[in-house]
Structure 1
């Protein structure tokens, strides 16, 4: 696991009406401070990758659909510098993922339905000074193969 990345398994409390689940609490060590809460929808087959932040951490949760999430540690001082981590997340595997600043991240929508993702950040987006840096989905530094492996 990449240093600083955190995964939290979600517990669903189910009854005949549906379910309830706590996602992020203020007494957990998932988010150092609150900056912004956002919602994103991506369609089947879409790859949104890669980007990273120098100042903010992200906390991701996929509400609907399923995704292959890819992380790459760009932090020179990190013991996991240059390592890649893959997480399969979504309604089939409800996880909370904390992504520290300096870790490039992206995802591919899996299956035939869109993904809906909610995410929290430690900083609010600033149009005049965005903390967002991009790498191509096929950047040779990360060299990730996005193709489905037929096993």
Structure 2
């Protein structure tokens, strides 16, 4: 895995009326603060790329469907420089 990337299983409370999916709590080890929350909708079968960030902290969740993330460490001083991480999260593997 890429240095600094954490994939944490999230709790799903199943209920016949509709499930509750935890995303982030202030007691989570990876939580520091946040500046905004937004949602991105992807159309089935389409690819959507985020632009390159020199430094960023993102908390991602996929409560509906499945998304495959491809992460590449291009940081010059990183111990995992050049490493590619493929992470799939969503309804079948909620993280």
Pairwise TM-score range, normalised by the shorter structure: 0.7 to 0.9
Which structure is larger by alpha-carbon Rg, 1 or 2? 1
Structure 2 residues not aligned, in runs of 5+: none
Q: CA RMSD in A?
A: 1.5
CA distance in 2, matches of 1:50, 1:13: 30
TM (normalized to structure 2)? 0.87
Q: Which has a greater percent of strand?
A: 1
Shift of 1:52: 2.4
Distance 2:2 2:70 in 1: 11
Runs of 4+ in structure 1 deviating by more than 6 angstroms, as ranges, are: none
- Contiguous gaps of at least 5 residues in structure 1: 96-151
Matched length: 95
> Is residue 1 of structure 2 the alignment partner of residue 5 of structure 1?
no
1:37-48 matches, within 5 Å, as 37-48=37-48
Kindly tell me: are residues 55 and 84 of structure 1, through their superposed partners in 2, closer, same or farther at Cα, counting changes over 3 Å? closer
